[in-house]
Amino acid sequence: MNLPNTLPWRHPARVAQLESALRQRILIIDGAMGTMIQRHRLSEADYRGQRFAHGLDALQAQPACTTNAEGEHVHGAGCGCDLKGNNDLLTLTQPQIIAGIHRAYLQAGADFVETNTFNSTTLSQADYQLEHLAYELNLEGARLARAVCDEIEATTPTQPRFVIGVLGPTSRTASISPDVNNPGFRAVTFGELATAYEEAALGLIKGGADVLMVETVFDTLNAKAALFAIDEAFAKVGARLPVMVSGTITDKSGRTLSGQTAEAFWYSVAHARPLAIGLNCALGAKDLRAHIDIISQVAPTHVSTHPNAGLPNAFGEYDESPAQMAATLREFAEAGLLNLVGGCCGTTPEHIAAIAQAVRGLPPRAVPVPADSVEDAA
């Protein structure tokens, strides 16, 4: 087994607070960012803000739409490329909206807010020709979440609030071909993923994240690249943060997109010694129950889940009410499966408030002692 990271904690007092809170109760993760952004019904102009109002990035010296030396499109004056849908860009163009969403979740009872950085890598921002923003999006995303956490924590000093720096799966897969006619083809390499993730992780670390989460993992090789990159980032800053990993069971077959069961997924990332391992997205809480149970049995670390509000309906919307979701997740807690719980697609501050109330007073899952620790003690 790999030796644990020996670098010091970047924020030792915050880590101590987090570990203490995890021993005392089930902690609450926030809900969906995208669902809340949709409530604002933002236009293309809203996404652009003043900085991108005329197509170009006003902070870049680009007189017009052009092609760079690598043959890539570069936004310029009069650019007609759509930026609507790039939710991460709102951290820069509409920070008050993102701050308001963070604030609403914290006021609903969340202990953690996740940064608005799910797609803030060069690989994902390439869909909008905004690769140059990757580091800035992560830095500012963490700073924004940190500021709101500090604001709310000041009103409830006995309840610390934590920032989860989110590293999403990117829009590419390292172990699956996007071309059914060419199964050996890969749209991205491990090295390209690691480079993108390291840049993102450095932004999150320097922006003030308390924890990093490799989230919504559908391809375990992508996750391994992220974990490798995180270690590289820690080495560069000379300190580390706790790391969480959350995978995605893509359908009722009980496997990730790259074909792993929940148990296999845990063993594939166990070398990173994460603070927590869990599952999120794709399925509702009821359909995740069996898979969280398996992880709880095999993982000698904290277990988390933040499922969707049920499965999407014919219109792509989520119908599970706060009361329904909270009742299901309370049963998870009563069965001793949870250390952290929250929501993903379709969930709102109302869902998080109901979940927080439902698990309040229930003990957190008892974390098993790793076998190697027992052997070392002997």
Residue 227 in domain: yes
Residue 210 in domain: yes
The Cα–Cα gap between 142 and 270 comes to 26
Residue 282 in domain: yes
Q: Give the residue from 62, 83, 104 where a domain finishes.
A: 83
Same domain, 167 and 54: no
Same domain, 207 and 63: no
Largest CA distance in the chain: 70
Domain count, the chain: 2
Q: Give the residue from 55, 83, 111 where a domain finishes.
A: 83
Residue 1 in domain: no
What CATH number should be reported for the domain holding residue 352? 3.20.20.330
In tens digits, what is the pLDDT along the chain, a chain of 378 residues? 334 478 999 999 999 999 999 999 999 999 999 999 999 999 999 999 999 887 667 776 554 566 667 766 565 555 657 899 999 999 999 999 999 999 999 999 999 999 999 999 999 999 888 999 999 999 999 999 999 999 999 999 999 999 999 999 998 988 888 888 888 888 899 999 999 999 999 999 999 999 999 999 999 999 999 999 999 999 999 999 999 999 999 887 889 888 899 999 999 999 999 999 999 998 899 999 999 999 999 999 999 999 999 988 888 889 999 999 999 999 999 999 999 999 999 999 999 999 999 999 999 999 998 766 544 544
Q: Identify residue 373 by its one-letter amino acid code.
A: S
Q: Name 5's Cβ contacts closer than 8 Å, sequence gap at least 6.
A: 231, 234, 240, 273
pLDDT at 314: 83
Pair of tokens at residue 31: 């809900």
pLDDT at 129: 87
Same domain, 140 and 159: yes
pLDDT at 370: 73
Q: Quote the DSSP letter at residue 88.
A: G
- ∠ CA 145-152-244, nearest 5°, is 45
Same domain, 109 and 49: no
Same domain, 129 and 166: yes
Contact 262, 254 (CB under 8 A): yes
Q: Which domain holds residue 55?
A: 44-83
pLDDT at 3: 43
Residue 3 in domain: no
pLDDT at 176: 84
Residue 2 in domain: no
Q: Give the residue from 83, 100, 135 where a domain finishes.
A: 83
Same domain, 36 and 50: no
Same domain, 49 and 115: no
pLDDT at 262: 94
pLDDT at 350: 98
pLDDT at 66: 62
Residue 374 in domain: no
Contact 124, 171 (CB under 8 A): yes
pLDDT at 137: 98
The Cα–Cα gap between 102 and 31 comes to 9
Same domain, 114 and 66: no
pLDDT at 87: 98
pLDDT at 374: 42
Same domain, 191 and 66: no
Q: What is the CA radius of gyration of the chain?
A: 20
Same domain, 295 and 313: yes
Same domain, 107 and 55: no
pLDDT at 338: 98
Residue 115 in domain: yes
Same domain, 198 and 73: no
The Cα–Cα gap between 141 and 89 comes to 10
